[in-house]
Amino acid sequence: MRARHIDHVNLRIPEDGVDDAREFYGDRLGFGIEDALYAADEKPFFDVRLSATAVIHLWPTDEFAPPTATNYDHVAVVVEEPIGEIEDELKAAGVAVEKRLDSPLGATGEAPAVYVRDPFGYRVELKARV
């Protein structure tokens, strides 16, 4: 077996958190929101499109419990912009940077990254391309 990349990540969100998710992932971070099938009640989740080959499935549920340090740390997303531009975009969008690391190790090597929290407590690493 030879894996190539992560296809998707599933995250549960509060049942009433759909608008917050669209605003954070779509408006503030600038990722695509694919929710037509969800809106038509044809599937129980909607997608945050990260790239042509990667999505985050967001599952609204009344059984949501915020993530804790014992069951979740973060999902890392490689972005094309240099770290300074990423920080500028986040600041302009009103997204607080939790921390910055200049050389965390990832799947393709070391590159600067910043960490932010979504409205549901999930940490997202935005990592510059190596």
**pLDDT tens string 14-25:** 999 999 999 999
Read off the pLDDT band of 33 (50, 70, 90). very high
Q: Is the dihedral of CA 116, 100, 50, 85 positive or negative?
A: positive
Give the chain's length.
130
Read off the pLDDT band of 125 (50, 70, 90). very high
Closest CA relative to residue 84, chosen from 119, 128, 38: 128
Q: Is 8-128 CATH 3.10.180.10?
A: yes
- In this prediction the pTM is 0.89
Domain residue spans of the chain: 8-128
Q: Of 49-53, 54-58, 64-68, 126-130, where does mean pLDDT reach its minimum?
A: 126-130
- What pLDDT is attached to residue 120? 96
DSSP 15-33: TT-HHHHIIIIIIIT--EE
Q: Give the N- to C-terminal CA distance of the chain in Å, as an integer.
A: 25
